[in-house]
Structure 1
Amino acid sequence: MSPSTSSLARLPKKLNEQWEQHLDPFETLLAENLTVPPDAVTVAASLDGVMLPMKDGKRQEKREKSVAEGKRTRGPAGCQEASCGTLSFYDDQGDRLSTIRMGRMPESKKATLKKSLSNLLDKVLQQKPNLTLVKVADGARDNWTYFTKELPEGEEIVDYYHAAEHLKKAFDLAYGENSAKSKEKFSTYRHILKEEPGGVEKIIKALAYQHSKHPRRSKLKTELKYFRKNRLRMNYAEHLSRNLPIGSGVIEASCKTLVTQRMKCSGMRWRCPGGQGILTLRSLIQSGWFDCGWMLLSVTYRAKVNMVSDNVIPFSSGKGNIER
C-alpha cells in the first residue's frame, strides 16, 4: 500500500502545526547544534522576497478595484510576498563554504523571519565572534532598516548586480534605450563601479551631469538618488580586495529553490498554513538540518505507554518470540 495523494498533501500542513507550536525552542536547539565551518572568516546575512499566488489574496477584488479606477488589470493580482533569508559562510579566499536557508509565507514586515535570522546570527557570533559580518541585499528600504538597526555592526553592501541594473537604466534614460552610446557608457562605468576605489562617486558625478542636461527626466533623477542614497554601501573595489561577497546570488537562488521551483507551478495557489509546511521542510533539507529537525518534530508525536491493554493481540516476530 502506498499513501494517497490527499494524505501526502495534508502531511506538510499537519507537521507544520506541530513545528509552529514549538518554533522558538526548536530553532534554538538547531542553532545550538550548528557548527560553524572551521575555515570560515566571513558570515553574510541576506534577505529577499518573491511574489507567491495566494488563495486568500483577494485577487478578484483587486482586479475589480483596478477596473473601477481605470487601471490596467494585468499583473500579479492576488499575489503576496513570501520571504527568504540566508546565512552564508566564506573562507579567506572568498569561497562559499555553506549556507543556512529559511523561508516564510507572507507576513507583515517579515517579522518572524527577521527574528529567526537575528537569533541564528547571535548563536553563530557567540560560537565564533571574530567572524566578519557582511549584510548584503538589494536596495529595498525595509531590508536595510532591519540590517542597520537590528543586526550587529558589520559591512553593508548593496548587491552589485542590482546596482549595475540601475546603472544600465540610467544610461538608457540619458542616451536612449539600448543605443550604442548607452551600451558604451554602461560598459565603461560598470567596470569603474566594480573595480576602481571610489567608483560610485564617479558614477554619481556622471549621472548628475546627465541630469543637469536633462532636468525634466524624472526617472533619471530617481536613478541618481538611488546611487546617492546607497553610496556608502557600494565600495565594491575595497570589498573585493578583502574577498568579501558583493552579490546576493545566494539569496536569489534560495528564493528560486525554496519557493519558485516548488510553489509557483501552473495553477498553484496557496494558503499560509500549507505553504509554510512546504517552506519549513525545504528549508531544513537545503540547510542540512532535516535529520535534526525531524528528530525534534517526531518527539512531539510520541507518548510513553505505561501499560498494555488486554485487547492487544500478540504476534510472532518470526524468530519464535512473541511480541506486543
Structure 2
Amino acid sequence: MGGLLKKPNGPFRVLHAAAAVRARRVLSPGAKKEYQTAYRHIRERTQWMQYHDYKRAHVPLGSGISEAACKTIFTQRLKRSGMRWTKTGAQVILNLRVVLLSGIWNEAYRQILTTYTRNELPTPEPQHEIPKQMAA
C-alpha cells in the first residue's frame, strides 16, 4: 500500500484497494476496529497525502531533513558534555543559532539595531557599586 500512496491519486487508490480486500475477508472485532481507524485516518487526511504531486514539486517527503536540522541546531550545541540549561536560556541560544546558521545574522542584527532607539537598547545593570577609591 505504501507504493500505491506515491502514485497519482494515491490515497484514493489505497482506500479502494483496502475496501476490496476488506470485502473478501472476515475480520475479528479487534481487526475490524483497527481497519476502520486506519481507513478513516487516510480518508480524513487525503488532501495532505498527495505524495505524487509533492515528489513532482521536489518537496522532501521524509523526515531526514528535520532530523538533521535538529541534530545541527539543537544536539550539537545544547548536549555537550557537562552543559546544563534552563528552558529560557536554551531558547535564547537556539534562536541565535538558527539566525546564524540560516545565514541571516547581518540582516537580523541590522533589523534589531533599527528597531530600537538609542535609549531603548537594553544594557546590563551593574551588580554592585565600585568603591570610589578603587574607581579612581
Normalised-by-shorter TM-score class: 0.5 to 0.7
How far off is 1:200 after superposition? 1.3
Larger mean Cα displacement after TM superposition, 292-301 or 254-263: 292-301
Check if 1:197 corresponds to 2:12. Answer: no
Higher percent of residues as strand? 1
Amino acid at match of 1:255: C
Q: CA 1:246 to 1:296, structure 2 compared with 1: closer, same or farther past 3 Å? A: closer
Deviation for aligned residue 1:236: 2.0
Alpha-carbon distance in 2 for matches of 1:273, 1:200: 42
1:262 to 57, 77, 93: 77
* Alignment partner of 1:230 out of 22, 41, 45: 45
Write out aligned runs for 1:2-41 (5 A): none
| Residue in structure 2 matched with residue 292 of structure 1 by the alignment | 107
Q: Equivalents in 1 of 2:18, 2:36: separation in Å?
A: 8
Measured in 2, the distance between the counterparts of 1:236 and 1:272 equals 36
Structure 1 position 250, deviation (Å) = 3.5
Q: Which amino acid in 1 is paired with 2:95?
A: T
> 1:271 is matched with which residue?
86
What's the offset of the Cα at 1:274? 0.5
Task: Give the Cα–Cα distance (whole angstroms) in 2 for the partners of residues 216 and 274 of structure 1.
Answer: 48
Kindly tell me: are residues 292 and 200 of structure 1, through their superposed partners in 2, closer, same or farther at Cα, counting changes over 3 Å?
same
> Is the Cα contact below 8 Å between 1:236 and 1:246 reproduced in 2?
no
Structure 2 match to 1:253: 68
1:230 to partner: Cα distance? 0.9
TM-score, structure 1 normalization: 0.29
Between the two structures, name the one with larger relative contact order (CA 8 Å, sep ≥ 6): 1
Mapped to 1, the partners of 2:59 and 2:103 lie a distance apart of 22
> Post-superposition shift, 1:267?
6.5
User: Which whole-Å CA distance do the structure 2 matches of 1:225 and 1:235 have between them?
Assistant: 16
1:164 aligns with none
Report deviation, 1:222.
Answer: 3.1
> Are residues 267 and 295 of structure 1, via their aligned partners in 2, closer, same or farther at CA, if it must alter by over 3 Å?
same
Q: C-alpha separation between the residues in 2 aligned to 1:204 and 1:262?
A: 44
Tell me if structure 2 keeps the 8 A contact 1:198–1:235: yes
Question: How far apart, CA to CA, are the structure 2 residues paired with 1:213 and 1:266?
Answer: 53
Distance 2:85 2:26 in 1: 48
Segments of structure 1 that go 5 or more residues without pairing to the other structure are 1-188, 303-312, 314-324
What residue identity is the alignment partner of 1:192? L
Report SS of the residue matched to 1:250.
Answer: helix
User: Are residues 264 and 201 of structure 1, via their aligned partners in 2, closer, same or farther at CA, if it must alter by over 3 Å?
Assistant: farther
- For 2:95 and 2:39, locate their aligned partners in 1 and report how far apart those are by CA, in whole Å: 40
Q: Per-residue deviation at 1:198?
A: 1.7
Q: 1:257 to 1:219 in 2, by over 3 A?
A: farther
2:27 counterpart of 1:213: yes
* Distance across 2 between alignment mates of 1:286 and 1:269: 22
